[in-house]
Chains A and B, each alone.
Chain A
């Protein structure tokens, strides 16, 4: 099976812009979770989607949003970018529940200048 893929791998944006990141889960996986990883805050949960519905949400402002399509592919969007949004954004897919074994993509490295 192909692994979790994320595009793009690297991105440079300026403050105030918006960005959309994409994630394709492993075939058959219905749950997709997104995480933000920074040196200071570590790995923080953004949200989880299951069957095109947001099932869980972390403590992030409304500028962070996401969606899932009928083929389980997911996108996350960050609007009005801030310098503090610079991070590695990781997507992970799992079979069903949010606590199942998760398979991570390589991540998207976002730099906001």
Chain B
């Protein structure tokens, strides 16, 4: 598996429901970030959680990080049609090059 794998690859839910996306990684990290991308556009930063943090909130977003399992989850509550997008997790590596490695993304569709 790659560093930063999202699960599921695609998710379709009804407006108002909660959406949960998961990310797993392989090596030690400084931080883990979540980004959103609307079709064919640049990515937008959503939230950053550091390796010594376990949970973080931002509006309708809740991110958890479990460094022992090398996994993170992004929860979007009370979803809206405007949340339809691809969501990427990115891990900030501390070994070797200090860069972000992006996963393949989860395609989220919110049905009205």
| Chain A interface (Cβ < 8 Å from any Cβ of B) | 4, 33, 35, 42-43, 45, 48, 55-56, 88, 90, 92, 97-99, 101-107, 109
A55 CA to B92 CA, complexed, in Å? 15
The size bracket of the interface on B is 20 to 34
B40 at the interface (CB under 8 A from A): yes
Task: Classify the interface of chain B: helix, strand, loop or mixed.
Answer: strand
Chain B residues within 8 Å of A43, by CB = 43, 88, 102, 105
Q: Which of A42, A101, A106 is B42 in contact with, Cβ under 8 Å?
A: A106
The smallest C-beta distance from B99 to any residue of chain A, in angstroms, reads: 4
Task: Classify the interface of chain A: helix, strand, loop or mixed.
Answer: strand
Known contacts A4-B42, A102-B45, A107-B42; A42/B104 CB under 8 A:
yes
A79 CA to B43 CA, complexed, in Å? 26
A45 CA to B31 CA, complexed, in Å? 17
Chain B residues within 8 Å of A97, by CB = 92, 98
